[in-house]
Amino acid sequence: MTVPKFVALKRAGQKISVLTAYDFTMAQLVDAAGVDAILVGDSLAMVVQGHHSTIPVTLDEMIYHGEMVCRGVKRALVIVDLPFPTFHLGKHRAVEAAARILKETGCQAVKLEGGVDQAETIAALAGAGIPVMAHVGLRPQSVLQLGGYRVQRDEERLRADALAAEQAGAFGIVLECIPTGVAARITQEIKIPTIGIGAGPDCDGQVLVTPDLLGLTGGHVPKFVRAYADLRGIISQAVASYREDVRGSKFPASSESFQ
């Protein structure tokens, strides 16, 4: 998958599947299953590192995880998030950070949160030959300013952000936590793919955090998540069985030992 092929999926009317990955093993599995793109999201701050938001993750950490993912991928488009505050420090420093990501991970594109406010930076990245995906609606890096993870309903602003990102040179846009009708209208208005997460079925594609999809997430699960498995339960049961076998001297057996 390349950026032009990714964009062409919208013109072909083919829905686009995107999932996250943060390490080599999961990247291999997700890629082999045939998803169109893999996002190394700054969500790793919460999913992998245990933070309460995406703000703490650093550029070096994004590169570290992005490199692992790229080593495990053979066919999907790999996109790596620009973490906070790399793209708020001026377009030149944003280009420098994005270039590091491309050079040190081997990914094909970066993603940043913003629309109208980041149009100049998006244009600078695109002008430097760096494919960039925008992200409008709920912006997790701005959660402190937004006052929490809430549905964004200002249609005028959302549409303006999407159009600004497209005009600045973004090849796609993530629409997060916005009403279905608004997402549908944005998807019809712009020529680049929209990838929804909590934005209804009318986007050109969908993205989910893979641990959510696999049922690995504990505690609160967002309304827009569909768990396709209960790996949390399976893993817990497997570990408990292992513990009991060790305690009962049932593991290892003679067939699992060297004579």
Per-residue pLDDT tens digits for 19-45:
999 999 999 999 999 999 999 999 999
Residue 55 falls inside a structural domain: yes
- Give the C-alpha distances (Å, rounded to integers) separating 6 from 34, 131, 226: 14, 11, 24
Residue 144: per-residue pLDDT: 80
Asked if 84 and 141 count as a contact pair (C-beta separation under 8 A), the reply is yes
Question: How far apart are alpha carbons 165 and 189 in whole angstroms?
Answer: 13
> Active-site positions?
176
Residue 58: per-residue pLDDT: 98
Asked if 115 and 162 count as a contact pair (C-beta separation under 8 A), the reply is yes
Name, in order, each residue with C-beta under 8 angstroms of 146's C-beta and a sequence gap of 6 or more.
Answer: 138, 139
Residue 257 falls inside a structural domain: no
CA 255 to chain centre: 43
Residue 191 has a CB neighbour count (10 Å cut-off) of: 8
What residue ranges of the chain have pLDDT lower than 70? none
Residue 142 falls inside a structural domain: yes
Asked if 165 and 118 count as a contact pair (C-beta separation under 8 A), the reply is yes
Range of the domain at 206: 3-213
- Could you say which DSSP state residue 248 is in? T
Name the maximum alpha-carbon separation found in the chain.
Answer: 73
Residue 218: per-residue pLDDT: 84
CATH value at residue 173: 3.20.20.60
Strand partners for 81: 111
Residue 60: per-residue pLDDT: 98
Name, in order, each residue with C-beta under 8 angstroms of 10's C-beta and a sequence gap of 6 or more.
Answer: 16, 191, 192, 193, 204
Residue 149 falls inside a structural domain: yes
Residue 225 falls inside a structural domain: no
> Tokens in use for 9?
């999926």
pTM of the model: 0.95
Question: How far apart are alpha carbons 208 and 55 in whole angstroms?
Answer: 19
Cite the beta strand spans of 69-222 per DSSP E. Answer: 77-81, 109-111, 132-137, 172-176, 194-197, 205-208
Residue 142: per-residue pLDDT: 87
Residue 57: per-residue pLDDT: 97
Residue 245 falls inside a structural domain: no
Residue 241 falls inside a structural domain: no
Residue 154 falls inside a structural domain: yes
Q: How many distinct structural domains can be found in the chain?
A: 1
Q: What is the CA radius of gyration of the chain?
A: 20
Sign of the CA dihedral running 83, 44, 175, 179: negative
- Give the C-alpha distances (Å, rounded to integers) separating 22 from 77, 104, 225, 228: 14, 15, 19, 19
